[in-house]
Amino acid sequence: MKNKFFLACVLFSCIIATQNIWAIETSTFRKMLATELSEMYSKEIPEYKQFTEIVKASNLAFLEKNHPFKFYNKERVLEEKHGAIRVSTPEEMRLFARIFKLMGMYPVEFYDLTPSGIPMIATAFRPIDGSIEQSAFRMFTSMLHPDYIPDEVKHEVDIILSQRKNNPKFSKKLLTLLDTAENRELNNLEAKNFIAELVNVFKLENLKPIYFPLYKSLREKNDVYADNICVGINLNHLTPRAFDIVDAQKRLIDAGVPMKDGGIEGPPMRINAANVQLNQTSRKAPGELIVVTSDKTILELFYENRVHYDNLKKSAPIIRLDKNQSVSDYLALIEKTLETHKLVHIEHKARFGEIESRHVALTSEGENLYKKLLEENKFEQDFPTTHEEMFEQNLAYYNFEVNPKQKLKNKPTNADLQYLIKHQYLKLVPQTYEDFLAVSAAGIFKSNLSNGVQNLQKKNQTTSHENRLILEKAIGFKILSRHDLALAEQAKTKLEAYKILGL
């Protein structure tokens, strides 16, 4: 009896320990974030739910057709997602850098979107070690370039942005947990609370009313300004990975999903050839309702008396954008309605759906050749088609895996990689492209602008290198190079293989 009681106590403490005491793995933390964000998106955006279901059906159909499955970590791909957030100030960027670091996500690669007419500079926070295979969740994070805020609204925008420093989107609980986590590892329960508070930042239902006069003048210039400055930190999409983006796109179109103009971004995909880097496409943003006001006292009411505000909100009229209506007519109609109503629900298009297929990562040489051939319109016929050729010409990154059968037969006498591959001691394992493409990113951004990219103003002429430094200063540490990470990974697998082969 005593023994049984003792055993029960041990079992109980074990359960408690696994639930609450053990420190959390970074990959588990990332998985939790991806899952919770996806749940929130499914609740807030019905179009997202439909979108992910179609992509999942495409992926399952792909797996059924492609047996035996050898090139990908199947579980990883089925679960994989990336998110994209847009922040407005260096303070917000720094906060996210701290948050993502806890999850083992570091800034890799700099993406300057300003040459493409988008006032943003960006990086992607992503895992940089082997745990990427357990959860590859990454976050494309862009920041409004401070030099691109239009002069006429600069004063008002500065006031809004400086008020954000005591940002109510980040709860006290979230910031306290962040501080705690930087001093010691969080247990499971704390991690759960942390994720819940973080997901709250992105809920549209938690959005405070938006001051319409500023929203209108910004939206007349560029949707990105209005979204970024007035709506604030926003999760713009969560992107599932598709094995075959062409098939996924076809299924989405067949289901009547309005896809972006211009088709799939990234390197042209070839039949019977290894694809390279990354291909992406997206659906157009559905209009989502946000609440606007022209009365500044209402803005205070949101914090002081949320219930009263919520009641006001219930009775506010909804004005949807008519199919044939121009954006300026729409904004004028809202302005007019606000003369007689304190609050109005309007349509805001910012959150959309995106899909991507990831392929082998190109080296710098590979990237240069790809760009050159693309300019000459010769990529499709002249770029090598097999992994063996790409490896021989140092065009893409590969890891090495020992072929156990060959190893047993006889010991290799030559340590040359080409020799070992040719004689089947080693197998080439393509390294997945884990990053993004600036041109594709700008294309995805642009596909959701109702009035194009005109009216971008730039005060100073900064170079791309200076823009990178602006972003690194905001983040608080250096942005890593994907090439350094890929080479380190390659060297690690080479060493391990040599050890096994006794070289």
Residues that bind ligand OOG (CB under 6 A): 84, 86, 140, 142, 236, 280, 354, 436, 440-441, 444-445
Provide the minimum distance between the beta carbon of 127 and ligand OOG in the complex, in angstroms, as a whole number: 17
440 binds, among ligand OOG, Ni ion, none (CB under 5 to 8 A by kind): ligand OOG
Place of tokens 């964000």: 37
Choose between 141 and 337: whose C-beta lies nearer to ligand OOG. 141
Q: Are the CB atoms for 284 and 259 separated by under 8 Å?
A: yes
Provide the minimum distance between the beta carbon of 140 and ligand OOG in the complex, in angstroms, as a whole number: 4
Choose between 209 and 240: whose C-beta lies nearer to ligand OOG. 240
27 binds, among Ni ion, ligand OOG, none (CB under 5 to 8 A by kind): none
- Chain positions contacting Ni ion, by CB under 5 A: 84, 239, 354
Choose between 281 and 399: whose C-beta lies nearer to ligand OOG. 281
Choose between 237 and 341: whose C-beta lies nearer to ligand OOG. 237
Provide the minimum distance between the beta carbon of 108 and Ni ion in the complex, in angstroms, as a whole number: 15
462 binds, among Ni ion, ligand OOG, none (CB under 5 to 8 A by kind): none
- Omega before 119 within 30 of 0, i.e. cis: no
Provide the minimum distance between the beta carbon of 438 and Ni ion in the complex, in angstroms, as a whole number: 12
Choose between 421 and 441: whose C-beta lies nearer to Ni ion. 441
Choose between 216 and 482: whose C-beta lies nearer to Ni ion. 482
86 binds, among ligand OOG, Ni ion, none (CB under 5 to 8 A by kind): ligand OOG
Q: Kindly list the distances between the CA atom of residue 208 and the CA atoms of 196, 238, 298, 340, 344, in Å, as whole numbers in the listed order.
A: 19, 23, 10, 20, 13
Q: At what angle do helices 151-163 and 212-221 cross, to 10 degrees?
A: 130
Half-sphere exposure of 263 (CA within 13 A, CB side): 7
Provide the minimum distance between the beta carbon of 354 and ligand OOG in the complex, in angstroms, as a whole number: 6
Q: Kindly list the distances between the CA atom of residue 452 and the CA atoms of 255, 264, 394, 455, in Å, as whole numbers in the listed order.
A: 27, 19, 39, 9
Beta bridge partners of 126: 106
Provide the minimum distance between the beta carbon of 141 and ligand OOG in the complex, in angstroms, as a whole number: 9
3-state secondary structure at position 282:
strand
Provide the minimum distance between the beta carbon of 125 and ligand OOG in the complex, in angstroms, as a whole number: 12
HEC-encoded secondary structure of 430-453: ECECCCCCHHHHHHHHHCCCCCCC
Residue nearest Ni ion (C-beta atom) = 84
Nearest Cα to Cα of residue 301 among 209, 214, 229, 202:
209
Choose between 225 and 445: whose C-beta lies nearer to Ni ion. 445
* Distance separating alpha carbons of residues 234 and 139, to the nearest angstrom: 12
HEC-encoded secondary structure of 84-95: EEEECCHHHHHH
Provide the minimum distance between the beta carbon of 237 and Ni ion in the complex, in angstroms, as a whole number: 6
Provide the minimum distance between the beta carbon of 120 and ligand OOG in the complex, in angstroms, as a whole number: 8
Choose between 93 and 441: whose C-beta lies nearer to Ni ion. 441
Sheet-wide strand order for 288-293: 210-211, 288-293, 344-348, 318-319
* Distance separating alpha carbons of residues 30 and 27, to the nearest angstrom: 5
Give me 314's structure tokens: 């219930």
399 binds, among Ni ion, ligand OOG, none (CB under 5 to 8 A by kind): none
Pairing between β-strand 138-144 and β-strand 120-127 as defined by DSSP bridges: antiparallel
Choose between 84 and 334: whose C-beta lies nearer to Ni ion. 84
Nearest Cα to Cα of residue 138 among 98, 107, 95, 181:
107
Provide the minimum distance between the beta carbon of 238 and Ni ion in the complex, in angstroms, as a whole number: 9
277 binds, among Ni ion, ligand OOG, none (CB under 5 to 8 A by kind): none
Choose between 40 and 301: whose C-beta lies nearer to ligand OOG. 40
Choose between 54 and 417: whose C-beta lies nearer to Ni ion. 54
Single-letter amino acid code for the residue at 492: K
Provide the minimum distance between the beta carbon of 280 and ligand OOG in the complex, in angstroms, as a whole number: 5
Q: What are the residues whose beta carbons fall under 8 Å from the beta carbon of 108, sequence distance 6 or more?
A: 123, 124, 125, 126, 128, 434, 435, 479, 480, 481, 482, 485
Half-sphere exposure of 8 (CA within 13 A, CB side): 5
Q: Give the angle 159-165-167 at the CA atoms, nearest 5°.
A: 105
Place of tokens 């309007």: 346
Nearest Cα to Cα of residue 396 among 440, 420, 421, 366:
366
Provide the minimum distance between the beta carbon of 63 and ligand OOG in the complex, in angstroms, as a whole number: 24
132 binds, among ligand OOG, Ni ion, none (CB under 5 to 8 A by kind): none
194 binds, among ligand OOG, Ni ion, none (CB under 5 to 8 A by kind): none
Choose between 84 and 501: whose C-beta lies nearer to Ni ion. 84
436 binds, among Ni ion, ligand OOG, none (CB under 5 to 8 A by kind): ligand OOG
Give me 158's structure tokens: 């500065």
